[in-house]
């Protein structure tokens, strides 16, 4: 089965988040407690992010610790291009 860009990256990151939670039950408890305390039984919405310090730190730290694209994606100009004063050559030879 072939899985594409946004799906593969998100899926792998989510799997790491779950695995790390399994291995760190204290962390999992803290995440759950913060969600229960701050959301008070409501469905989460984007504006809740500012109140979920531990959850947001957990997400950021997983993206750093288990980075699925650590060296990013290579780029090169496909034709000579002038950006401001910089001239980018099409050839890397």
Applying CB under 6 A, the residues found at the interface with ligand HEM are 5-6, 9-10, 13, 68-69, 72-73
Question: Which residues, in sequence order, are CB contacts of 88 under 8 Å at separation 6+?
Answer: 77, 80, 81, 82
Whether residue 52 contacts residue 58, with contact meaning beta carbons closer than 8 Å, is answered with: no
Tell me the closest approach of the beta carbon of residue 87 to ligand HEM, in angstroms.
21
Tell me the closest approach of the beta carbon of residue 34 to ligand HEM, in angstroms.
21
Cβ distance to ligand HEM smaller for residue 75 or 82: 75
Tell me the closest approach of the beta carbon of residue 69 to ligand HEM, in angstroms.
4
Question: Which residues, in sequence order, are CB contacts of 65 under 8 Å at separation 6+?
Answer: 16, 20
Cβ distance to ligand HEM smaller for residue 9 or 28: 9
């Amino acid at each position: 089965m072939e899985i594409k860009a946004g799906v593969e990256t998100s899926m792998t990151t989510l799997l790491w988040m779950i695995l790390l939670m399994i291995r760190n039950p204290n962390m999992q408890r803290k995440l759950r407690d913060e969600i229960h305390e701050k959301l008070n039984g409501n469905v989460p919405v984007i504006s809740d992010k500012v109140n979920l310090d531990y959850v947001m730190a957990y997400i950021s730290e997983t993206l750093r610790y288990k980075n699925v694209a650590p060296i990013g994606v290579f780029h090169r100009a496909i034709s000579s291009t002038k950006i401001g004063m910089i001239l980018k050559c099409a050839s890397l030879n």
